[in-house]
Amino acid sequence: MAKLKETSETPAAVLELVAALPNLPGVYRYFDDSDQVLYVGKARDLKKRVSSYFQKNLSSPRIAMMVAKIARLETTVTRSEAEALILENNLIKALKPRYNILFRDDKSYPYLKITNEKTPRMTYFRGGIDKKHQYFGPFPSAWAVKESMQLLQKIFLLRSCEDSVFANRTRPCLLHQIQRCSAPCVDFISDQDYQADVENASNFLRGRQTEVQAKLEQKMLGFAQNLEFEKAAIVRNQMSALSKVLHQQSMELAGDADIDIIAVVVDGGRACVNLAMVRGGRHLGDRSYFPTHLELAQNVVHDAIEVEVITAFIAQHYIDQFIPAQLILNVEIDAPELLLALMEQCGHRIHLSFQPQEQKRAWLVMAVKGARLALARALSEQGAQQIRTKALIDALEMDVQDIDQFRIECFDISHTQGEATQASCVVFHHHAMQNAEYRRFNIKDITPGDDYAAMRQVIYRRFEKFAHTQEKSDDFTAIMPDIVLIDGGKGQVEVARQVFEELGLDTSLIVGVAKGEGRKVGLETLVFVDGRASKELGKESAALMLIAQVRDEAHRFAITGMRAKRAKARQKSKLEEIDGVGPKRRQKLLTRFGGIKGVEDASVEDLMAVDGISRTLAEEIYQRLR
C-alpha cells in the first residue's frame, strides 16, 4: 500500500483509523470539523479504497478539496460489495452529502390499482404496494394513470366508484349511461362476466392485447350462436374500441415489454436525466431529473461526467423502485457491481442496451431530445431567476458573496375568522422554491384572530433553536436565512423585531411586505425595522417579481394547510356533537361509509346496518347531518 499523506490538514487519528481498516467490503463516510457529512462511498476493499484518498498525489482538485476538510471518518463492514452499494445509496438519500451527486427524492410514482374483492374496482394509487391487490405501473405521471383508466372504462367498462357509493346504489350512475361502466352495482352484469372483463383489462395492461382480442371475439361469437344479440353487440363495441386503441398505438408496441429508457445530457454546468417508461409495450411518458452538486465534478472530462451522473441516477433511483428487465441508455457504463446489487434486489436479470434498434432506438432518440429540451428550459429559467435574485440583493443594498446560496424564508398567517389558525414558512434557495423545506406551524393558545400573537409564536418557534445553538447544520431550525420575509405591514414586522431582539438575532434581516392601495400587485411597500426608510420597488422591478413570487407561495401554502385543518376539524365535530355516537361508533360509521360524506348520504336503513346503531340513533344521525 502506498504511504499515507502526513500533513496538518488530516488529523493523526484519521490516518491511524485508515491504517487499521480491514480488507473487507463496506461503506465509508467522511465528516468535517462541524460534524457534517462530506461524502459517502462504498468499497470492495475498505482499506485500499479509503487509503487512496490520503496519498501524496490525488486524482483531482475536487477530491483534494474534500480531503482537506476531513476531520473524522466512519465505516460499516458489509457481507458483499452489492450490499455495500445498497447501503451507500440509502445513506446518500438520507444524509445528502456535500460531495456526492444527488438526485432529489421525488414523490413516489403513481400506479393503476385493481382491487381484489368480489367486484373489483380500478383506482389511481400512490404509496406502498402490497400483494393483496393488482398494481400496474409505475407510471411517470398522474396524467398517464388517468389516461389508462379512461381506456379501461371505454373498453372493459370497469367501475371506478368508491366502495361506499357502490354499496348504496339503487340505480345506474351516469357512467353507465355514457357506456363507461357495466353497472355491476345494480347487477346489470353477472359476477362471472364482470370478472372476465377484469381479467381482460389486466392482460391488456400487461401487453397481451392479442390474447384479449381473441377472447373477446370468442365471447361475441358465443353470444351470437345463443341468439343473445344485445350481449354480442356490447362485446362487439368493446372489440371496436380496443382495435382503435391498438391502431393508434401501433407504432409504440414492442410485445409485452417493460422497459425504462434513460438519457443524460450535460450542458451549462448542469445535467438533466430524462426517464421514459414503457409498460406492457406502451410508452407512458417521461420525467426529467436535475442532480445537484454537479459543479463538484466539473474537473472531470465531459463524457465521464455523463457516466458519473447516469450511474448515480440508476443507483439512487432504483434502490427502492420497480426495476424493469431492460434499461436503454444513451451513455455506456461499466458497473457490474451495480447491476449485481439491483438484480439481487429485484430477483430477475437486468439487461443494459446502449445501441437499440428500430422502435427502441426511436424511443431513445425521443428521450435524449426530451432531456435537451428540459435542460434548455431549466437553464433559461435559472438565468431569469438569477437576474431576479441579483436585483433583490441590489435593491436591499446587501453584501452577498455567493448569490447562489442566497436564502429567503417567508412567513404568513391564515385562518377563517379565527378558526384553524395556521402559519406557513416557505423557502427560496439556489434561485428556486425549495418545496421539501416548507413548514407549517399549528398555532395554539392565542386569542382567535390575533394575527400578531400568531406571528410572534411562529417566529419564536422557528428561530429559537438557532438562537440557542448558533451552529450551522442540515437541521431546518439551525439554518439562518439571509432575509426573513414577513407577509404583512408594520404591525407584523414589529412583532418579528421584538422576537429577534429577545433571541439576540440580527433584526436587519427582517423585511415586511405591506400591500399597496387597493391591494394591487406592483404597489407593495417593503418595510424595515433597522431604521431604513420604506421602499417601493415599482411594477417593473425584477426584485418585486421575486418578492411577489415568494410571498404568494407562502400565502398559498398557508391557505391550503388551514383549509385542510379546518375541514378535518369540522368533519370530526359533526359526529362528535351527536349524543350516543362515541369514538367506537364514530369509527365504525366512517369506516362503513368511507368518510363523513358517505355518512351524510346514507339512509336511515343504511345507518341501522352498522353494528351498534339503533333505529332511534340512526334517525337522530340522519336528521343532524342534513
What domain range includes position 201? 110-207
Q: Are residues 372 and 412 in the same domain?
A: no
Q: Are residues 305 and 439 in the same domain?
A: no
**pLDDT band per the 50, 70, 90 thresholds, residue 7:** very low
- The count of other CB atoms within 10 Å of the CB of residue 383 is 11
Q: Give me the pLDDT at residue 299, please.
A: 44
- Average pLDDT of the residues in 114-131: 84
43 belongs to a structural domain = yes
Q: Are residues 559 and 581 in the same domain?
A: no
355 belongs to a structural domain = yes
Q: Give me the pLDDT at residue 230, please.
A: 72
C-alpha span between 205 and 162 (Å, rounded): 22
- The answer to whether residue 471 scores a pLDDT higher than 80 is no
Q: Give me the pLDDT at residue 8, please.
A: 45
Q: Which residues contact 60 (CB under 8 A, 6 or more apart)?
A: 299, 300
**pLDDT band per the 50, 70, 90 thresholds, residue 63:** confident
Q: Give me the pLDDT at residue 454, please.
A: 87
Q: Give me the pLDDT at residue 537, please.
A: 78
Q: Give me the pLDDT at residue 395, please.
A: 85
C-alpha span between 516 and 183 (Å, rounded): 56
276 belongs to a structural domain = yes
- Average pLDDT of the residues in 514-528: 71
Q: Give me the pLDDT at residue 249, please.
A: 46
Q: Are residues 192 and 323 in the same domain?
A: no
User: Which CATH number do you get for residue 496?
Assistant: 3.30.420.340
**pLDDT band per the 50, 70, 90 thresholds, residue 252:** very low
Q: Are residues 440 and 532 in the same domain?
A: yes
Higher pLDDT: 377 or 417? It is: 377
Q: Give me the pLDDT at residue 72, please.
A: 86
Question: Does the predicted model carry a pTM greater than 0.85?
Answer: no
Query: Which residues in 443-463 are b (16+ Cβ under 10 Å) and which e?
Result: beeeeeebbbbbbbbbbbbbb
451 belongs to a structural domain = yes
- The answer to whether residue 245 scores a pLDDT higher than 70 is no
Q: Give me the pLDDT at residue 10, please.
A: 62
Contact 279, 382 (CB under 8 A): no
Q: Give me the pLDDT at residue 244, please.
A: 56
What is the domain count for the chain? 5
182 belongs to a structural domain = yes
pLDDT tens for each residue of 321-354: 778 889 999 999 888 888 888 888 777 888 999 9
Q: Are residues 614 and 499 in the same domain?
A: no
Q: Are residues 157 and 283 in the same domain?
A: no
Q: Are residues 117 and 88 in the same domain?
A: no
C-alpha span between 28 and 88 (Å, rounded): 8
Range among 5-19, 46-60, 241-255 rated most confident: 46-60
- The answer to whether residue 263 scores a pLDDT higher than 90 is yes
* Cα 222 to chain centroid, rounded: 48
The phi and psi torsions of 136 (rounded to 5 degrees) equal -125, 130
Q: Which three cell numbers stand for residue 160?
A: 371506478
DSSP letter assigned to residue 515: -
- Average pLDDT of the residues in 152-165: 84
Among residues 572, 571, 563, which one has the least CA distance to residue 419?
Answer: 563
Crossing angle of helices 142-156 and 229-248, in 10° steps, is 150
Peptide bond preceding 138 in cis form (omega within 30 of 0):
yes
Q: Give me the pLDDT at residue 247, please.
A: 45
- The answer to whether residue 61 scores a pLDDT higher than 80 is no
Q: Give me the pLDDT at residue 470, please.
A: 55
pLDDT tens for each residue of 573-614: 567 767 778 878 887 887 777 777 778 778 888 888 888 888
pLDDT tens for each residue of 210-231: 677 777 777 778 777 777 777 6
- Average pLDDT of the residues in 158-173: 85
Q: Are residues 544 and 597 in the same domain?
A: no
Share of the chain above pLDDT 70, in %: 83
C-alpha span between 620 and 579 (Å, rounded): 9
Q: Give me the pLDDT at residue 9, please.
A: 57
Average pLDDT, the chain: 80
Q: Are residues 412 and 551 in the same domain?
A: yes
Q: Are residues 22 and 127 in the same domain?
A: no
225 belongs to a structural domain = no
Sign of CA dihedral 296, 341, 436, 40: negative
234 belongs to a structural domain = no
56 belongs to a structural domain = yes
User: Which CATH number do you get for residue 24?
Assistant: 3.40.1440.10
Q: Are residues 412 and 448 in the same domain?
A: yes
pLDDT tens for each residue of 551-582: 888 888 888 776 766 666 555 556 776 777 88
- The answer to whether residue 175 scores a pLDDT higher than 80 is yes
Q: Which three cell numbers stand for residue 516?
A: 399597496
- The answer to whether residue 44 scores a pLDDT higher than 90 is no
CA angle (508 as vertex; 502, 514 as ends), nearest 5? 100
User: Which CATH number do you get for residue 595?
Assistant: 1.10.150.20
**pLDDT band per the 50, 70, 90 thresholds, residue 273:** very high
Q: Which residues contact 138 (CB under 8 A, 6 or more apart)?
A: 108, 109, 110, 111, 277, 321, 322
Contact 279, 139 (CB under 8 A): yes
